[in-house]
Amino acid sequence: MKNIPFARPMISDEEREVAQEVLNDHILVHGPRINQFEETFAKFAGAKNSIATSSCTAGLHLAYFCIGLGPEDEVIVPAMSHVATAHAVEFVGAKPVFVDSEISTGNIDIERIEELITSKTKALSLVHYLGMPVDMDRINSIAKKHNLFVVEDCALAFGSKYKGIHAGLLGDIGLFSMYPVKHITTLEGGLVLSKHDDILNKISLQRAFGVDRTHAERKIPGQYDVNLLGYNYRMNELQAAIGTIQVGRLDGFLKKRKQNYEVLSERLSGISEIHQFESTNENFESSYYCKSIVLEGSLKSKRIEIIEGLKSMGVGTSIYYPRPIPELTYYREKYGYDNGLFPQAAKIAYQSIALPTGPHLDTSDAAYISDAIVKVINDLK
């Protein structure tokens, strides 16, 4: 029997060696490896620069903080995402206004956005769900019409492209995650992309207290001024060194994810009670983060049995995400949302199973997973 976890960080001797080098050095923060990492990722994404942060959540927080959002402001947020997407809005005291998903991709239902825009709406947040890019032309035209700042949650969107442009460079700002199960890892960590230099510069200062010069720029050690309010959301040198190696391996990782994804899509396509999300086409290049399947018909009520059956055959799974955000207790209690207001997001949350596609698998593992699904479903009949 195989043992295929849902995800596994891809740490090789290269990462181990560079980690050792950093630990043998005396520079653990404020060193040159951060710049190298930021430049390496910017080059990968086709951007001028990027900014490294301590996490994607920190980057999301900085995104709203840097445009001065506060109480009285509202942000449009997809109901189907990780809670961080909404929490970052709460951090600055603003109100997330949730929008249901479209079932074809799992992305925000763009048709529903405009009816929720009020004079208080200041930003539009979206998630490239499981790496499938949102239709950014439609988003940007709504944003332009209503003068809204566009935040792309790119936690799962390394390598995702819309009309050839990397996610994060499509709206006003994009935030990436290097949490261990993501496309690349720095243990914990985040990256910020923006097509606006002024935003990147501000984020760069605000991730480190608002201090006006880096260590390298200080003529007298310890001498600096602070002209902005900022947090300590820096990344350290160890993370950056590992990240640079990981970005170098990213093309290879993405290729494997795509191959695994395609095997699963093809082999599961004959099962009528499984809904598959759309992925890559002419304008949309997914990052193939995982293969999430939505159970329908008689399979709908058998999700736990299927997950357990897969587990007994050595196949790890996950759920993206366990509830629509407004059905999480914090949001339900704070804003009084009733269950059932976001039916498509709920369908995804309560009827889907996320299958692994990561580079720890090869296509024979993907074939094994699809065979396991067929067997488990047949055994349940």
In 3-state terms, what secondary structure has residue 206?
helix
126 lies in the site for ligand PLP, by CB under 6 A: no
Query: Between 94 and 376, whose beta carbon lies closer to ligand PLP?
Result: 94
CA 42 to chain centre: 17
Pick out residues in 72-91 that bind ligand PLP (CB under 6 A): 81-82, 84-85
Q: x/- contact string, 180-209, with ligand PLP (CB under 6 A)?
A: ----------x-------------------
Q: Which is nearer to ligand PLP, 156 or 242 (CB)?
A: 156
Q: Residue 336 is which amino acid? A: G
Is residue 236 within the footprint of ligand PLP (CB under 6 A)? no
DSSP line for 315-339? B--B-S-SS-GGGSHHHHHHH-PPT
The count of other CB atoms within 10 Å of the CB of residue 122 is: 20
Q: Given the complex with ligand PLP, which of 206 and 370 has the nearer CB atom?
A: 206
Residue 155 binds ligand PLP (CB under 6 A): yes
Find the binder of ligand PLP among 50, 121, 177, 239 (CB under 6 A). 177
Q: Which of residues 240-299 bind ligand PLP (CB under 6 A)?
A: none
- Rounded to a whole number of angstroms, the minimum distance from the CB of residue 239 to ligand PLP is 12
- CB 33, CB 244: distance < 8 Å: yes
Cα separation, 303 vs 299, in Å, equals 7
How many whole angstroms separate alpha carbon 381 and alpha carbon 168? 45
Closest C-alpha among 348, 296, 306, 362 to residue 129: 348
Residues 50, 55, 206, 246: which binds ligand PLP (CB under 6 A)?
55
Which residue in the block uniquely carries the two structure tokens 């300590």? 232
Q: Based on CB atoms, which residue is closest to ligand PLP, 169 or 377?
A: 169
Beta-sheet pairing, 165-166 with 121-127: unpaired
| Cis, bond preceding 321 (omega within 30 deg of 0) | yes
CB of 265 to ligand PLP, least distance (A): 21
Between 205 and 354, CB nearer to ligand PLP: 354
Which residue type does 358 have? Answer: G
Residues that bind ligand PLP (CB under 6 A): 55-57, 81-82, 84-85, 127, 153, 155-156, 177, 179, 190
